[in-house]
Amino acid sequence: MNPNDVVITGIGIVSSLGLGVEEHWNALADPKPVLDGERFAPYVVHPLPEIDWSTQIPKRGDQRQMETWQRLGTYTAGLALADAGMKEDEALCASMDMVVAAGGGERDIDVDQGILDASLTRNDHDVLLNEKLTTELRPTLFLAQLSNLLAGNISIVHKVTGSSRTFMGEEGAGVSAVETAAARIRSGQSSHLLVGAAFQTEHPDMLLAYELAGFLQRGDWSSVWARHEQDGGGVITGSGAAFLVLESREHAQKRGREAYAAIGPVVSGRASREDAALETGLRTMVETLGDAPTLALSGASGAHSVTALERRLLEERDNLAVRGFSSLTGHLKEAQFPFAVALAAMAIHKQAAYPAFDPDREKSTDAAPSTILATAIGYNCFEGMGLVVKA
């Protein structure tokens, strides 16, 4: 017990399974994926549930300034702040630091398609771009696309203004965000901090970014551990977000808040996917984090070789039950690691393990976990793991 231990006092999560901690806990008690196989066929996605944005983003004007990705993140950040009892506490929000992991926002599909279609009938493509973009782009769309404007909107809507940093870089950005946030609290650089990410997959460009390297699974859904090369690259994506309010133990105690859990050590790396380096790197990480975890919330993406490797290494531990949550939420990219930590913290708090998300490939366990391993091994690069422990 140290006054600068990093405790989790607020969780906001959104996925196809629902909104917030309780809806997720209940959905995961009887795990079934929620899917949309039509809109983006042949790709199946885990879509956003219905969300009344105005419950967290009351001003219509603010909602209009954002596209779905920023709304989702801002909404979910609001859930986390409310859960921590900090929402609308001006003093706490104004001194709160923030680290957001982000990709980019949504482009205007119609404008882009208009340019692509027009490009077939003329050769002066650069002039075409100028002509179309100057006349057809909505001026404020740029702000809805900028990576750091998710954090910007959180500042505007929820008044979180201590500091604001946006990390970019797929799963690794989510790992770094949590790792940096925890390090800041441990060292006394922050007393309380909002960290998280959102990913909105229901836009063609978001699928395109994966499929440029053939990462997506085509056709039907299957569990993250049961994807086959004849169906494509193995990744099924989802829309979702996870935000956490982290505090120093001392800060949480002073305001009388019970914590879900504490964040233990977090480790990260960037081992090459081309050779044995990843196996060595992951082994070292697992060993560094020790024998204590009895449950792993794995952010495995479904990308074939990396996912198979992670499963093999984790299953070498007889006492470790693995839960691949991407089976149920889809791959949430930047939000993958914050989501893993959130699910882990919930299980610590509820003193219960999750049932198998894939009963054929995940072992059951009744033991109440006191240490949980959270992982996010990048489908393309970067990896991280951390322990979530009793507060």
Partner 1 sequence: MKTTDKFGRPLVAVTGMGVVTSLGQGKKDNWEALTSGRSGIHAITRFPVDHLATKISGMVDFLEESDKGASRLTYALADLAASEALAESGLPATNFAGPLFLAAPPVEIDWHHRLSLYARSDKGGDWRSLIEAARKLRDSELFDETQFATIADRLADKYGTRGLPITLSTACASGATAIQLGTEAIRRGECDRALAIGADGSATAEALIRFSLLSALTTQNDPPEKASKPFSKDRSGFVLAEGSGALVLESLESALARGADVLGIMRGCGEKADDFHRTRSKPDGSPAIAAVRAALDDAGMSTDEIEYINAHGTSTQENEKMEHLSLSTVFGERISAIPISSNKSMIGHTLSAAGAIEAVFSFMTMREGVIPPTINYEVPDPAIELDVVPNIKRAADVAAVLSNSFGFGGQNACLVMAREAG
With tokens 């680290």, the residue in question is 99
Instruction: Name residue 383's beta-bridge partners.
Output: 269, 377
- How near is the Cβ of 262 to partner 1 at its closest, in Å? 19
Among 9-17, 168-176, 298-306, 345-353, the segment contacting partner 1 (CB under 8 A): 168-176
Output 209 or 353, the one with its CB closest to partner 1. Answer: 209
Output 267 or 352, the one with its CB closest to partner 1. Answer: 267
- How near is the Cβ of 313 to partner 1 at its closest, in Å? 19
Return the closest-CA partner of residue 8 out of 260, 302, 222.
260
- When binding is defined by CB under 8 A, the residue of 50, 122, 212, 275 that contacts partner 1 is 212
- When binding is defined by CB under 8 A, the residue of 15, 153, 298, 365 that contacts partner 1 is 153
With tokens 């449950």, the residue in question is 295
* Positions in 323-382 near partner 1 (CB under 8 A): 378, 380-382
Among 25-33, 160-168, 299-307, 362-370, the segment contacting partner 1 (CB under 8 A): 160-168
* Positions in 188-207 near partner 1 (CB under 8 A): 189, 204-205, 207
Binding flags for partner 1, 262-281, as an x/- string (CB under 8 A): ------xxx-----------
Return the closest-CA partner of residue 284 out of 319, 313, 262.
313
Number of residues that bind partner 1 (CB under 8 A): 81
CA angle 95, 101, 105 (to 5 degrees): 115
Distance from C-alpha of 334 to C-alpha of 118, rounded to nearest angstrom: 34
- When binding is defined by CB under 8 A, the residue of 4, 161, 253, 370 that contacts partner 1 is 161
* Positions in 45-74 near partner 1 (CB under 8 A): 65
Output 153 or 327, the one with its CB closest to partner 1. Answer: 153
* Positions in 92-151 near partner 1 (CB under 8 A): 98, 102-104, 107, 109, 112-113, 115-117, 119-120, 124-127, 129-131, 133-135, 137, 139-140, 142-143, 145-149, 151
Number of Cβ within a 10 Å radius of residue 91: 8
Q: Under DSSP, is residue 217 helix (H, G, I), strand (E, B) or coil? A: strand
- How near is the Cβ of 242 to partner 1 at its closest, in Å? 18
DSSP state, 285? H
State in Å, rounded, how far the first CA of the chain is from the last one: 9
Token couple for 63: 């909602």
Token couple for 129: 């771009």
Output 23 or 108, the one with its CB closest to partner 1. Answer: 108
Q: Do residues 192 and 259 touch, judged by C-beta distance below 8 A?
A: no
CA angle 271, 206, 238 (to 5 degrees): 85
Output 32 or 60, the one with its CB closest to partner 1. Answer: 60
Return the closest-CA partner of residue 178 out of 159, 194, 155.
194
Distance from C-alpha of 221 to C-alpha of 235, rounded to nearest angstrom: 10
- When binding is defined by CB under 8 A, the residue of 166, 201, 336, 365 that contacts partner 1 is 166
Output 130 or 364, the one with its CB closest to partner 1. Answer: 130
- How near is the Cβ of 290 to partner 1 at its closest, in Å? 20
Output 114 or 355, the one with its CB closest to partner 1. Answer: 114
Output 233 or 324, the one with its CB closest to partner 1. Answer: 233
Distance from C-alpha of 382 to C-alpha of 273, rounded to nearest angstrom: 9
Q: Under DSSP, is residue 220 helix (H, G, I), strand (E, B) or coil? A: coil
Binding flags for partner 1, 285-304, as an x/- string (CB under 8 A): --------------------
CB neighbour class for 380 (10 Å; exposed up to 12, middle 13-18, buried from 19):
middle
Output 145 or 370, the one with its CB closest to partner 1. Answer: 145
- How near is the Cβ of 322 to partner 1 at its closest, in Å? 23
Among 50-58, 166-174, 288-296, 356-364, the segment contacting partner 1 (CB under 8 A): 166-174
Q: What is the largest CA-CA distance in the chain?
A: 69
Check binding of 240 to partner 1 (CB under 8 A). no
> At a CB cut-off of 8 Å and minimum separation 6, what does 119 contact?
125, 128
